[in-house]
Structure 1
Amino acid sequence: MAVWDKNTAWCFMSLLAAAVGIGVNYPGPVCGVKGSTVTLPCTFTPATVKDNGREVQIKVTRVVWCQNHLLCHLTTPSVYDSESRNNDPRYKYLGDKSSTCTLQISDLQEGDNATLRFRVEAKDGRGSFTGTNGVKVTVSGKSIIITASNKNGSILIITEGLG
């Protein structure tokens, strides 16, 4: 297949996804300190089809998070796969298969510096898609200090990181 054909197919898939209202809403870039935990709040809109004149949501069968891959499908290595029993325990899926795709990463490591993307898969191919924008995660090895005050006016100082 020529490059032009691949680009045309990709463009068509993107337009089809937009036409049926499916998509993924990612947070802005996320930065965390090495060894800390970050949460990537995420929501998605599953595909719907007309069934006897009613809009019916296509049933999601699998959800996947992967690093640095545009489509995150087939044999792409993943950090979380709902069908795998071998997910890295540092990556905890806090979502579901209907609208929430939040991912929590604990004990951040330099290898977590990546763009992570979420993929939904369904038996009906019209319901399978990847949120191609993704969320950029940056890991810093420097300590941070957070200073805040509570309702009583007391000051709370939290230090985190390796220093």
Structure 2
Amino acid sequence: MGDATMALRTAGSVLVVFLWSVAVVLGQYIWSVTYTTQSICALKGSAVELSCSYTYPSGYTITTTFWFTKIYAEENYVSLKDDPDYKGRVTYREDEENGHTLTITDLRESDSATYKFRFTDQTGTWRYFGRPGVSLSVTGLQVKVTGGHQDKTLTCSTTCTLTDNPTYIWYKNGHKVKEDTSSLDSDSFSDADSYSCAVKGREDLHSPAVCEC
């Protein structure tokens, strides 16, 4: 009984080592891209970072790396740096261990798209990009009014849920009155005043003002 158990344990150990060895060997032949996050909602006018890491077979040298959203023709991928819609708003940063970060500044609602990373080796024939990419949604701020005359609520509305879960700042007649959630109840405002909102850390990006006259 003891010998049988020992044999099973030995066989199990050999199997684990074998599978680990296979994984290591296969890892040397994998082309892949892994995105840090696959969905981001960011504020119009702000900046955003999209990042990924990539692997490639040993023996190759990576010569070209870039992010893109557009393919104009077969194998004709356009780097964001060469895209006139992003001129002067895009930077790339190579990180350690094959990491890559894309930064887009002065975000526009038209920047809402799926961003993918692509790399090419020294032969120019091995090209790879990761799926599904990063889905970026860009939203502005808008104050919406709900409820009746006595129980109105102001809501700082966005078209998607901001990824960084910010604190909202409320302004009355251009002056800060409260840091709160995205909603402001009726006991916090009065008639004949205008209200706008922003998110903490980007107070320069106000919503259009709404008058409760």
TM bucket normalised to smaller: 0.5 to 0.7
Please give the alpha-carbon distance, in whole angstroms, between the structure 2 residues aligned to 1:97 and 1:123. Answer: 20
The structure showing larger relative contact order (alpha-carbon pairs under 8 Å, at least 6 residues apart) is 1
Identity between Structure 1 and Structure 2 (%): 28
SS at match of 1:80: helix
Please give the alpha-carbon distance, in whole angstroms, between the structure 2 residues aligned to 1:90 and 1:162. Answer: 21
Structure 1: gaps (5+ residues): 1-17, 50-55, 148-154
Q: Say if 1:73 and 1:30 are closer, same or farther in 2 by CA, change over 3 A.
A: farther
For these two proteins, the number of residue pairs brought into alignment is: 127
1:60 aligns with 2:30: no
Please give the alpha-carbon distance, in whole angstroms, between the structure 2 residues aligned to 1:116 and 1:91. Answer: 13
SS at match of 2:98: coil
C-alpha deviation, 1:135, in angstroms: 0.5
Query: Contact conserved, 1:25 with 1:44, CA < 8 A, in 2?
Result: yes
C-alpha deviation, 1:80, in angstroms: 3.1
1:139 aligns with 2:138: yes
Match in the other structure for 2:41: 31
Query: Contact conserved, 2:70 with 2:78, CA < 8 A, in 1?
Result: no
Match in the other structure for 1:40: 50
Q: Say if 1:30 and 1:136 are closer, same or farther in 2 by CA, change over 3 A.
A: same
> How far does the alpha carbon of each residue in 1:1-55 deviate from its partner, in whole angstroms, 9 at most, with x for none?
xxxxxxxxxxxxxxxxx9922211111201111100011121111x224xxxxxx
Query: Contact conserved, 2:68 with 2:116, CA < 8 A, in 1?
Result: yes
Please give the alpha-carbon distance, in whole angstroms, between the structure 1 residues aligned to 2:57 and 2:201. Answer: 46
Structure 2: gaps (5+ residues): 1-26, 143-155, 157-164, 168-178, 180-198, 208-213
Q: Say if 1:97 and 1:117 are closer, same or farther in 2 by CA, change over 3 A.
A: farther
C-alpha deviation, 1:125, in angstroms: 5.2
Match in the other structure for 1:78: 79
Please give the alpha-carbon distance, in whole angstroms, between the structure 1 residues aligned to 2:78 and 2:124. Answer: 21
Query: Contact conserved, 1:38 with 1:105, CA < 8 A, in 2?
Result: yes
C-alpha deviation, 1:136, in angstroms: 0.3
C-alpha deviation, 1:89, in angstroms: 2.2
Q: TM-score, normalised by structure 2?
A: 0.49
Q: TM-score, normalised by structure 1?
A: 0.63
Query: Contact conserved, 2:114 with 2:134, CA < 8 A, in 1?
Result: yes
Please give the alpha-carbon distance, in whole angstroms, between the structure 2 residues aligned to 1:162 and 1:93. Answer: 29
Larger Rg: 2
